[in-house]
Amino acid sequence: MIKAPNVTDAAVTAAIDDFKAKALATGQLHEPVTIEVNPDKTVARIGIGLSGTGTDKVSEDAVHTLRDDVIPHSLAGLDGAEVAVTGEAAQSVDFNHALTRSVPLVFAFVLGLAFVLLLVSFRSVVVAVTAIVLNLLSVAAAYGALVLAFQHGWGSGLMDFQERGTITSWIPLFLFVILFGLSMDYHVFVLSRIREGYDRGWPTKLAVARGIQNTAGVITSAAVVMVAVFALFTTAPLTAMKEMGFGLAIAVLIDATIVRAVLLPSVMAMLGERNWYLPRWLGWLPRLSHN
């Protein structure tokens, strides 16, 4: 898109011709090339074909080539002109860029807030760190399953979708926030029962065993319901919905079985009394009841 006082001016026309030649020479952009001018002759829209599907990496590379190489060496030098790249592929690139910039902030906020809440609730640095690490394992497992099923296409036959070699850009961040919340809910429920036993004077290993035993039925039942509900999304016609449902179902299944039933009690049993480590300078934290 070009905006200028007169896009039919000889200098602008020559720059557009130069743009077409340089764009087609890249091999990433191709015919047909169309030019539409508004009645006031102040805006010209140049349509050009991109390699790829429009949203895949090939198309994104073509957009980067257009913005970083072709336009700066053809249209950018026009006096008084404004040039912008629009369209579905450009929108996808800009959205992914904005999403990428926000990821560290979201991760830092969620992890930081979770750490503070766990630290205050259980008066233990070790418990807070362990909970975050175990929850991240569930999220990582979901990411790995998504890559295998959708990016590599292992689940295309079972879930009836066309392999694209990519995952919908907003899915990873969305899954992280939702899964971390669900995992933390399970974790706090189990830890509350464990801490309750410890506060009664039980040894840590006994408190862990009783805590897992007393919460296993509730967690398993809740997990079965959520896995069943999330799995229904894999029957939706939209691939993004399939990715969301599959990722959530796998993560909840792994979290409620391997993480909560095996890793959590194993780690806490090995750490023993060190689970409840709290620096002296944090001794002012309130003692919350877990009954």
List, edge to edge, every strand of the sheet that includes 82-83: 29-37, 43-50, 2-3, 82-83
Residue 110 has pLDDT above 70, yes or no: yes
Residue 109 has pLDDT above 90, yes or no: yes
How many angstroms separate the CA atoms of 257 and 277, rounded? 27
Residue 283 has pLDDT above 80, yes or no: no
pLDDT at 105: 92
For 248, the token pair is 């959530």
Residue 177 has pLDDT above 80, yes or no: yes
Average pLDDT over residues 159-177: 84
43 and 154 in one domain?
no
Task: Choose the final residue of a domain: 60, 86, 112.
Answer: 86
Task: Choose the final residue of a domain: 86, 118, 147.
Answer: 86
Residue 238 is classified by DSSP as: S
136 and 79 in one domain?
no
Tens of pLDDT, residue by residue over 15-27, are 888 988 988 898 8
Residue 93 forms part of a structural domain:
no
Residue 108 has pLDDT above 90, yes or no: yes
How many angstroms separate the CA atoms of 51 and 70, rounded? 15
Q: Are 208 and 268 in contact (CB under 8 A)?
A: yes
Residue 289 has pLDDT above 70, yes or no: no
How many angstroms separate the CA atoms of 173 and 178, rounded? 9
274 and 153 in one domain?
yes
Residue 55 has pLDDT above 80, yes or no: no
Nearest residue to 268 (alpha-carbon basis) of 189, 180, 194: 194
pLDDT at 244: 92
pLDDT at 276: 87
15 and 144 in one domain?
no
Residue 68 forms part of a structural domain:
yes
253 and 199 in one domain?
yes
pLDDT at 291: 60
116 and 74 in one domain?
no
pLDDT band for 32, please (50, 70, 90 cuts).
Answer: confident
pLDDT at 160: 80
pLDDT at 140: 92
157 and 107 in one domain?
yes
More confident residue, 56 or 189: 189
Tens of pLDDT, residue by residue over 114-129, are 999 898 888 889 999 9
Q: Please name the residue that has the structure tokens 């557009």.
A: 16
Q: Are 9 and 52 in contact (CB under 8 A)?
A: no
Nearest-Å Rg of the Cα atoms of the chain is 27
121 and 61 in one domain?
no
Task: Choose the final residue of a domain: 86, 110, 130.
Answer: 86
Nearest residue to 205 (alpha-carbon basis) of 264, 146, 269, 162: 269
110 and 33 in one domain?
no
Residue 72 is part of which domain span? 2-86
- Please give the tally of structural domains in the chain: 2
More confident residue, 57 or 250: 250
pLDDT at 129: 94
136 and 186 in one domain?
yes
Mean residue pLDDT across the chain: 87
Residue 258 has pLDDT above 80, yes or no: yes
For 105, the token pair is 């902030």
